[in-house]
């Protein structure tokens, strides 16, 4: 049968990916979000989807279908999720009964703990499937006419991806490279734990929000303007970010100790991540703060705010907290707790952040809150001790 790709989601990234893949492959767009699939199908009608590439060229293509029917997974060879990570679980769960052995399921970006979530949602079937986590989205992109036209503003040169089980890496990454085209170049990362702990969003987003809006630095009064997000990183915020990234580094060293031979080379510090990803775009790389303040790619980006009577209040429910705490920071904090590592800076940010997003995750510094199952904390996915679950954890890590 013809190689079949499911492209999941309906936002900027999913529309771009669908437009790109449908040029060369039988592609079915799937969205489970509200009535998005029907609306998209309607909007496109008989027309072709138009994708404008950075050089100005226009690619036209037509997905085979746009649907909310999970049974299309029965014919899928490759399923790509290009939705915010809080939605991943729903796709895994709904596709699970239909998926055939050997299906490649990739998440873009994976955020943290995606492989463990996949294993927990797929149950016995997980061992017959191939999971791939991408560190980020390869494109900066926006739709220009919803459902009909979109633009790729820029494409990354390289993008890291890890495969579980590791034995399927070559096969899976070759397929994914074929799908993405020449750019970005997909680089092999040793394991999904490395992708999980590399996740820059889990540090940057909650850390910068805390640095600007927690009671430690803000009096609660509206601001005349929405502050700059990256260029506005000050010394205090830098100490928060450094505290968090250093704690994650301690966790990496601890994991290497517990799991002999585990390669955590890609789970680098936040500063190293900037050097890897934005080389040449930062005027000053002497410190983490300088990297963030002088990165041209971040020019003018502001804090998420709401306007109230001409002044600005922070949007403390924005995805910088609502996505990056549950599917990022919770994974790191939960794993740290399992291996007995203290994470005072992460704890302080979590404690403040969970209240902002109305979740009870951590209680008295422990991962025991009632909303734990809504997060990617290993504890929320049924993993609470190394002894009880180490073989399982090692299996999902691909060892
Ligand atoms: P988006 O905000 O356009 O995605 C919206 C889509 O998410 C919706 O169309 C729907 O399909 C899904 N969705 C929203 N709320 C939902 C809910 N409650 N339940 C289920 N599904 C829901 O985001 P995007 O721009 O397409 O980006 C996707 C991911 O890629 C995000 O994690 C984003 O952080 C990341 N990313 C995007 C860019 C970019 O340039 N667009 C760049 C880097 C990273």
Q: Mean pLDDT in runs of 10 for the chain (399 residues)?
A: 95 97 97 98 98 94 98 98 97 98 97 93 94 95 96 92 95 97 94 96 98 98 98 98 98 90 95 93 97 93 96 98 98 95 98 98 97 95 69 50
* Ligand 1 closest atom vs CA 82: 28
* Ligand 1 closest atom vs CA 15: 26
Of 345, 350, 390, 383, residue with least CA distance to 366? 350
Look at residue 332 in the predicted model and tell me its pLDDT: 98
Write the burial class of residue 101 (CB in 10 Å: 0-12 exposed, 13-18 middle, 19+ buried): exposed
Look at residue 393 in the predicted model and tell me its pLDDT: 54
pTM for the full model?
0.95
Question: Residue 392 contacts by C-beta under 8 Å, 6 or more apart in sequence?
Answer: 119, 383
Q: Does ligand 1 lie within 6 Å of residue 328's CB atom?
A: no
Please give the full DSSP string across 45-102, using - where no structure is assigned: TTSPEEEE-TTS-EEEE--SEEE--GGGGGG-SEEEE-S-GGGHHHHHHHHTTTPPTT
Question: Residue 71 contacts by C-beta under 8 Å, 6 or more apart in sequence?
Answer: 98
Look at residue 230 in the predicted model and tell me its pLDDT: 97
Look at residue 387 in the predicted model and tell me its pLDDT: 62
Q: Which residue ranges form the domains of the chain, and what is each CATH number?
A: 4-189 (3.40.50.720), 197-397 (1.10.1040.10)
User: In the numeric block, which tokens belong to residue 1?
Assistant: 């049968």
205 is catalytic: yes
Please give the full DSSP string across 182-213, using - where no structure is assigned: SSSEEEE-S-HHHHHHH-SHHHHHHHHHHHHH
What is the interface pTM, i.e. ipTM, of the complex?
Answer: 0.97
Look at residue 122 in the predicted model and tell me its pLDDT: 94
Residue 89 Cα to ligand 1 middle (Å): 14
| Number of other CB atoms surrounding residue 370 within 10 Å | 10
Q: Is 263 left (phi over 0), alpha (psi -120 to 50) or beta?
A: beta
């Amino acid at each position: 049968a013809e190689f079949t790709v499911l492209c999941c989601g309906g936002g900027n990234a999913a529309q771009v990916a669908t437009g790109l893949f449908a040029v060369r492959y039988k592609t079915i767009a799937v969205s489970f979000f509200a009535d998005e699939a029907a609306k998209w199908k309607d909007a496109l009608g008989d027309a072709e989807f138009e994708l404008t590439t950075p050089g100005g060229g226009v690619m036209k293509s037509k997905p085979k279908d746009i649907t909310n029917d999970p049974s299309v997974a029965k014919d899928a060879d490759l399923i790509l999720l290009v939705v915010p990570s809080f939605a991943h679980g729903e796709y895994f769960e709904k596709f699970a009964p239909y998926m055939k052995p050997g299906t490649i399921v990739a998440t873009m970006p994976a955020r943290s703990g995606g492989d463990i979530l996949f294993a927990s949602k797929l149950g016995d079937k997980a061992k017959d499937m191939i999971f791939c986590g991408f560190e980020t989205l390869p494109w900066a992109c926006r739709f220009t006419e919803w459902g009909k036209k979109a633009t790729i503003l820029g494409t990354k040169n390289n993008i890291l991806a890890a495969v579980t089980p590791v034995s399927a890496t070559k096969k899976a990454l070759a397929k994914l490279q074929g799908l993405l085209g020449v750019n970005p170049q997909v680089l092999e990362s040793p394991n999904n734990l490395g992708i999980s702990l590399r996740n820059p969003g889990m540090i940057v987003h909650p850390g910068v929000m805390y640095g600007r809006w927690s009671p430690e630095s803000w009096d609660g009064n509206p601001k005349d303007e929405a502050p700059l997000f990256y260029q506005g990183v000050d010394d205090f915020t830098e100490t928060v970010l450094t505290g968090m990234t250093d704690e994650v580094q301690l966790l990496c060293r601890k994991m290497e100790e517990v799991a002999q031979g585990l390669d955590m080379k890609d789970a680098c510090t936040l500063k190293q991540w900037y050097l890897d990803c934005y080389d040449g775009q930062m005027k000053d790389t002497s410190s983490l703060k300088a990297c963030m303040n002088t990165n041209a790619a971040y020019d003018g980006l502001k804090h998420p705010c709401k306007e109230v009577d001409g002044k600005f209040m922070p949007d403390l429910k924005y995805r910088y907290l609502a996505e990056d705490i549950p599917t990022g920071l919770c994974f790191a904090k939960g794993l740290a707790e399992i291996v007995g590592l203290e994470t005072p800076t992460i704890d302080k940010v979590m404690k403040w952040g969970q209240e902002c997003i109305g979740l009870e995750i951590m209680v008295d510094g422990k991962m025991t809150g009632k909303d734990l199952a809504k997060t990617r904390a290993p504890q929320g996915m049924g993993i609470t001790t190394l002894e009880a679950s180490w073989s399982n954890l090692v299996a999902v890590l691909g060892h």
